[in-house]
Structure 1
């Protein structure tokens, strides 16, 4: 089963204009995304209020609650699940990313944060023995709009496919049966991006020499941006810091 969804993911026109070429003497942007302050408490969901509380309770806190930790920070204050993008690159290395792949696994979407690309599919496969449905939302800086809601993942092994078109930037996914089951996506329009792990580090390579805007985005904490200049065969360092809202 699949659906073609007209979601306005930012950069559609730019994505169409991106030209693949051989990059020689490209530079690298590397750095760290960190978190400062008290880490927000996870959201708590009382399992007895929802479907499949025994199965989904495999990842409970032991007291009957399922926790959704939206801000994950490593030992060195590195921020996990931040998407770092280089803006305004219209020509560069091959854009090999073709599909976003997600799993429904023990009543959670894995990965929690991913990237999506205009005109490319997002596929979700159910690894659980219980059913899930899909609710997709589009987001901009001020509004959230529901895009669709359907019971697509009815049993283990079932899957669904979504294709995005348009010029908006952010999407959120949730299971209506298990509201603690959430995921987020950010649209990219060129191959110069990275998603941070628990160390919060990133490295974006083979970037043509020039001056660009670089952004770090987190689905809960927002976005930071600054300017970076890359020279041929050079390496530029950038640091981002997010604070608790």
Structure 2
């Protein structure tokens, strides 16, 4: 693993996220996902796959504290999740950048909300823009950079506050194949040394098997170990090919 850049804060321990006897769904009472137990270990990357409408985004928003479970408990390090928290960052497929704020100001936003002094915000934003390869674009507005670059900005914004859990809702789904592969590699590189726990929702089975330490299959909630996570050549191995077959069969 590579070390963080000079001046970048050291890694923090990732958070444990867990569901206990939960039923997730909408205010009308309709269930989209239920699980007796689903635990995301500190520092792991759990990829979540499943067909449309099976509750992937609902699961993510429940972990984020944006949606309460219909039944059961959701915990963060054993404590109930009762709403959003700075320790849990959410990354969307739509980059959700504020169009009137520069790239740098968008990255600074979580720190500004927490009233971090301006000089410290600027320093932290500059460090993260360097890490995602956008140091030369800090003064641009979102419409002046590409889709892949906007996702890099969103990634920097999510991580600048050093969250202990990062919840990612198909963040690369709208990108072309080449840009998507580059963003996957960037994510792997950036997460090295952060210590963060990651829940990564995707429709792409190959993306899930490349990024995840484990893969959660919805709606069953079954969780499978990935034999060789984050190795590009692992797709050709018999163990990964067999896991890919099992995941596709579940869909």
With the length of structure 1 as denominator, give the TM-score of the two structures.
0.30
Structure of greater Rg: 1
Bigger relative contact order, structure 1 or 2, given CA contacts below 8 A and separation 6+?
1
Higher helix share: 2
Higher strand share: 1
